[in-house]
Structure 1
Amino acid sequence: MNEFKLDSVDLQMFATKSGSNAEDLMLGAGTIYFERFDRQGQPTGILHHCGNVDAFNLTTEVTTVAKNSSMNRARELMAEVTTQVAARIAMTFTEYDPVNLSLGLYGEAGVETQEEKTVAGEIYTVSPDSVLRLPYYNVSDVILAPLSATPAEVGAAVMQTSLGTDGTLTTGGTYTGTESTDYYIRITAANTAPGAIAGCEFQWAKGSVAGTYSADIEADGSAQVLERGITVQFNVAAGQSFAVNEIYKFTVTAASGLYVKGRDYHVYEVEARAGIINIPPTSTIPENSKIVASYQVAKGKFPKIMGAIAGRIEGRLLFIGDPNKGPCYNGEFWKCSMKPNGDLSGLIGTEFGSYPIQATCISDRQNHPEEPFYKLVKVM
């Protein structure tokens, strides 16, 4: 590449010959690359494309000291001397890739590696209306169980749709299943006469009120077996009856059983990315209970930003112009000190986020004696 000294070419040959030239008006656009130096301040040769940058404003700050005459009231300016010149670049980044963010957060980028594994037997203390934090990302197949063995339990029936009747449904038996779940009883035929159970029929379903129901079963007033040791008994005293479409619900808990996903705990897709398991207020897990967690961990590599630890960020900036209108300049800024210059917005919001970054040009006279800070080259 040819190098030119300031006195080796007449720049007027590139200037407007006479009057104003609309072609020299600027409506700019362009691409930014950044080569971040290593911790020893040495180039790495790796240019990072900074993506969409909404603003790239170059400011030249000139600091002067002035001397005014004190010999008369006019105090005319006798001399003005420049004491400092600084070139700064204000940029607005809009893309949130980890390398960019490490600049916006004055930190360093890294990677967290997570191996695929099956975790079993981790012990935690939880309560209703709380969250359980597992120490991994993207967990799945979560199973929670009590730490101590518990006997099987058949819960009491609770009416879900009250139609003003007063018959009673009693649950019982010894549950022999291995899954804790909900059962639903639906009255399909009312007893023929108040005070007598004859004529009453019902169906049952497991897991959901909208599940698949059994065929009609005639209620006989005794403890009738549904399945797996569960019994239900329909009773009516004098003047009492059941009504069609009444629905009752009860919960069975397996011996030493698992807690029920969707009832005792929730694994939401978004929160599972952070290992968060929600324990709702209605969970049957007792307050301050020791539980055992088992789950699956997905293999992954996760980029991360270690914020506010950089101490110093230096590197080379490259600007490649592609203006909508006006002359096209490319800029090389040999050595820049980078720092955030405001808030990183958009992590929560209703508009696209952005974050400002300021670059201050540092002299690199040893490598660029004629242009120690930067150069702008008009290429079109």
Structure 2
Amino acid sequence: MAYTPSPENYFLGKGALYFDRFDSDGNSTGELHLGNCPDFSISVEVETKEHRSSLSGLSEKDIELITGVNATVKFTLEEFVTENLLLAFLGEQGTLTQSSGSVTDETITARLNRWIKLEHRKISNVVVKNEDGSVTYTVDEDYRVDAETGRIYIVPDGAITDGQTLKVSYDYSSIDLNTVRGLKNAETVGFLRFIPADDQQGPKHEVEIWKARLWPAGEIGFISDDWAQMTIEGAIIKDEENHPNEPYFRLIPRD
């Protein structure tokens, strides 16, 4: 450890952030590395009450007391994985599953210059016919296929007319995906740990925040010229029951 004054004490922070999301009973579920975080900060706010004397024509402050303290946290995420998106959208993890199979003559109504959603995703070997099956239409000339989402686009200048009943046959693959159900959680509460990088400039301190209530802050650019980011803010909650001597957070020096 360097003594003051010394350039070795100038601080330029880098490191890794971990989050342990508490379950509905307040129990630990394990610390997750949140990936690359370009910023992480703690803000301490002090509330005061002042008094001014009325004994002279000039109002002078004769006392000021601290009446409250608050601490908040803020960080930015750049890795768009499910766990981080749950934080960004107050989400709940869901699933999207589909067994493989095939469909014969699924009925849809054609709309020119529109995409029509089929009953399944991940489709292949698509065949589109008219209602009685006497005409088989040509892909790209009469319709297009979005195989991933399971949609059919009706080409305006093709042989299919607006409002026409079509029969669609296709195969579909199995799906087993984790999804994000947005705005399903009113709050996200858990433990935060910051571990400084070994090559960080300046003194290194590990940070442990016992209990933080987090929420999303700002917009997320799904279309943007810049790298997309997710900004998370939160309140540091007092946890005197489990940490009576340091109820909010602590900093641990590291060699």
Shorter-chain TM-score bucket reads over 0.9
- Contact 2:211/2:237 (8 A) holds in 1: yes
- 2:194 is the alignment partner of 1:319: yes
- Secondary structure at 1:266 match in 2: strand
For residue 79 of structure 1, the aligned residue among 41, 50, 63 is 63
Matches within 5 A, 1:102-113: 102-113=86-97
1:190 counterpart residue number: none
Q: Give the whole-Å Cα distance in 2 for the aligned partners of 1:128 and 1:59.
A: 56
Deviations 1:53-81 (A, max 9, x none): 11101100111111111111333322212
- Contact 2:2/2:8 (8 A) holds in 1: no
Relative to structure 1, the CA distance from residue 53 to residue 136 in structure 2 (aligned partners, 3 Å threshold; closer, same or farther) is farther
For residue 38 of structure 1, the aligned residue among 6, 20, 23 is 23
For the aligned residues, what is the CA RMSD?
1.6
- In structure 1, runs of 5+ residues without a counterpart are 1-13, 150-255
Instruction: Tell me which structure has the larger Cα radius of gyration.
Output: 1
Q: Give the whole-Å Cα distance in 2 for the aligned partners of 1:320 and 1:314.
A: 20
- 2:217 is the alignment partner of 1:341: yes
- Contact 2:125/2:170 (8 A) holds in 1: yes
- Contact 2:194/2:208 (8 A) holds in 1: yes
Matches within 5 A, 1:31-70: 31-40=16-25, 42-70=26-54
1:292 counterpart residue number: 167
* Larger deviation, residues 52-61 vs 119-128: 119-128
1:26 counterpart residue number: 11
Q: Give the whole-Å Cα distance in 2 for the aligned partners of 1:71 and 1:301.
A: 76
- Secondary structure at 2:211 match in 1: strand
- Contact 1:128/1:283 (8 A) holds in 2: no
- Contact 1:29/1:324 (8 A) holds in 2: yes
Q: Give the whole-Å Cα distance in 1 for the aligned partners of 2:120 and 2:39.
A: 38
Q: Give the whole-Å Cα distance in 1 for the aligned partners of 2:131 and 2:48.
A: 75
1:215 counterpart residue number: none
- 2:111 is the alignment partner of 1:127: yes
Q: Give the whole-Å Cα distance in 1 for the aligned partners of 2:2 and 2:13.
A: 19
TM-score, structure 2 length as denominator?
0.94
**Per-residue deviation, 1:284:** 0.4
- Secondary structure at 2:86 match in 1: helix
One-letter amino acid of the counterpart of residue 374, structure 1: F
* Larger deviation, residues 110-119 vs 29-38: 110-119
Aligned residues: 254
**Kindly, what percent of the aligned residue pairs are identical?**
30
- In structure 2, runs of 5+ residues without a counterpart are none
- Secondary structure at 1:53 match in 2: coil
Q: Give the whole-Å Cα distance in 2 for the aligned partners of 1:140 and 1:300.
A: 14
Q: Give the whole-Å Cα distance in 2 for the aligned partners of 1:84 and 1:136.
A: 56
1:273 counterpart residue number: 148
Deviations 1:214-265 (A, max 9, x none): xxxxxxxxxxxxxxxxxxxxxxxxxxxxxxxxxxxxxxxxxx1321112111
- 2:124 is the alignment partner of 1:140: yes
1:211 counterpart residue number: none
- Secondary structure at 2:177 match in 1: strand
**Per-residue deviation, 1:15:** 7.0
- Contact 1:35/1:43 (8 A) holds in 2: no
* Larger deviation, residues 110-119 vs 47-56: 110-119
- 2:227 is the alignment partner of 1:352: yes
One-letter amino acid of the counterpart of residue 112, structure 2: P
